[in-house]
Amino acid sequence: MLYRENGQFKTSYAADQQIFPIAQDRWAIVGLLLFAFVGIPLLVDEYLLRAILIPFLILSLAALGVNILVGFCGQITLGAGAFMAVGAYAAYNFHIRIEGLPLLLSFLLGGLTAAAVGIFFGIPSLRVRGLYLAVATLAAQFFTDWVFLRVPWFTDNASSGSVSVSNLQVLGWQIATPVDKYLFCLGWLVVFALLAKNMTRSAIGRQWMAIRDMDVAAEVIGIRPLFAKLSAFAVSSFFVGTAGTLWGFIHLSSWEPAAFSVDRSFQLLFMVIIGGLGSIMGSFFGAAFIVILPIALNQFLPAFGGLFGVTISTAGVSHAELIVFGALIIFFLIKEPHGIARLWSTAKEKLRLWPFPH
């Protein structure tokens, strides 16, 4: 009843092709953005920002990048952590080695470096697919782990292998407090999510999806697999790389290669699978789910055990986390390969008909 598009007629293709064709959706997104930019900084305490919201924003951006490659172009990757590392370390090197380079520019250059490395490790995708490609991208992961640990130049000869940045300034804005960091990451994410949405709804996105769905037919209508696949690798790595720079510079501000280990790659892949392959919205759902689940389990499991007089240790909780993740991934792969995003859109479909579904 509330969520109806009756009477919202489209009289031009431009109106029909907008991102949110239904007026209620447009209001909802405006409301959400207002709340995120104005409401949250006023309401939320520092712990919540630092522990949940900032990681959520940055990992959403990374998941968005992974989703472009895995969900939209169908090229499976286990190297997302590596591209985050490349982004972070490249931006770090630009930042310390070029005096007076604006921070935004070093972030973007970090992303571009990640894109270049992504293209390089994407070359095997022209020959192999599926599991074999996953293994090839895993090589990127181990390679970058090794490089940033063993080649001192990349870490500016830091003896511990860890690097740190301080005194971050963007266009005269000192990013120091958690609220600053939150707002910066949010702004960055909104812009990049919009770019991702635009790409997936225009020609390049259709090329990626065509390659994913039926590569022979795609070739026959004049899509070059080389360009489609490598551009997906480049764009994906760019997103993931900038997420890496944010993770290093804004979230951690001092980090070592372990911050971008293979665990991170798996985590990002899980986000995309659980959230929804081939859906921009799904990347956010997946990131929210994976960031919030451990914290929720932490709160909930000991209390739940208490009901039955069982004490659950901290180690028990972290084991339970792995068990729940594993079970959920299997559940989603079998029951809903399109993830939470599909559940969401089904719910919306139902809501449109409610309360008269016939």
Partner 1 sequence: MSRQIGEVILDLKNVSLSFGGVKALTDISFDVREHEIRAIIGPNGAGKSSMLNVINGVYRPQQGDIILRGRRFSRMNPYEAAKAGISRTFQNIALFKGMNVIDNLMTGRNLKIRSNLIQQAFWWGPARREELAHRAKVEEVIDFLEIQHIRKTPVGRLPYGLQKRVDLGRALAMEPSILLLDEPMAGMNVEEKQDMCRFILDVNDQFGTTIVLIEHDMAVVMDISDRVVVLDYGKKIGDGAPDEVRANPEVITAYLGASH
* Residue 80 binds to partner 1 (criterion: CB under 8 A): no
Judged by beta carbon, residue 203 or residue 303, the one nearer partner 1 is: 203
Give min distance, CB of 203 to partner 1, in A: 4
State how far the Cα of 114 lies from the Cα of 108, in Å rounded to an integer.
10
- Please select the residue that binds partner 1; options are 63, 103, 209, 290, rule is CB under 8 A: 209
Long-range contacts of 151-155 (CB under 8 A, 24+ apart): 154/89, 154/93, 155/89
Two tokens, residue 111: 């992303």
* Residue 95 binds to partner 1 (criterion: CB under 8 A): no
State how far the Cα of 222 lies from the Cα of 265, in Å rounded to an integer.
33
- 52 touches 295 (CB < 8 A): yes
Give min distance, CB of 195 to partner 1, in A: 5
Judged by beta carbon, residue 144 or residue 231, the one nearer partner 1 is: 231
* Residue 119 binds to partner 1 (criterion: CB under 8 A): no
**196 Cβ contact partners less than 8 Å away, ≥ 6 residues apart:** 64, 68, 239, 280
- Please select the residue that binds partner 1; options are 4, 50, 129, 206, rule is CB under 8 A: 206
Two tokens, residue 300: 């909930």
Amino acid letter for position 74: G
- Please select the residue that binds partner 1; options are 177, 198, 299, 318, rule is CB under 8 A: 198
Give min distance, CB of 211 to partner 1, in A: 9
- Please select the residue that binds partner 1; options are 181, 212, 264, 342, rule is CB under 8 A: 212
Question: Cα 230–210–340 angle (5° rounding)?
Answer: 95
* Residue 217 binds to partner 1 (criterion: CB under 8 A): yes
* Residue 310 binds to partner 1 (criterion: CB under 8 A): no
* Residue 9 binds to partner 1 (criterion: CB under 8 A): no
Give min distance, CB of 137 to partner 1, in A: 22
Judged by beta carbon, residue 175 or residue 235, the one nearer partner 1 is: 235
* Residue 8 binds to partner 1 (criterion: CB under 8 A): no
State how far the Cα of 210 lies from the Cα of 65, in Å rounded to an integer.
18
What is the DSSP secondary structure assignment for residue 166, as one 8-state letter? -
Give min distance, CB of 188 to partner 1, in A: 15
Segment contacting partner 1 by CB under 8 A, of 55-63, 161-169, 211-219, 257-265: 211-219
Segment contacting partner 1 by CB under 8 A, of 45-53, 84-92, 177-185, 222-230: 222-230
State how far the Cα of 181 lies from the Cα of 54, in Å rounded to an integer.
7
Amino acid letter for position 64: L
**294 Cβ contact partners less than 8 Å away, ≥ 6 residues apart:** 318, 321
By CB under 8 A, the count of residues binding partner 1 is 29
Give min distance, CB of 209 to partner 1, in A: 6
State how far the Cα of 75 lies from the Cα of 262, in Å rounded to an integer.
18
70-84 exposure pattern, b = at least 16 Cβ within 10 A, e = fewer? bbbbbbbbbbbbbbb
* Residue 127 binds to partner 1 (criterion: CB under 8 A): no
Footprint on this chain of partner 1 (rule: CB under 8 A) = 13-14, 17, 195, 198-199, 202-207, 209-210, 212-214, 216-224, 231, 235, 278
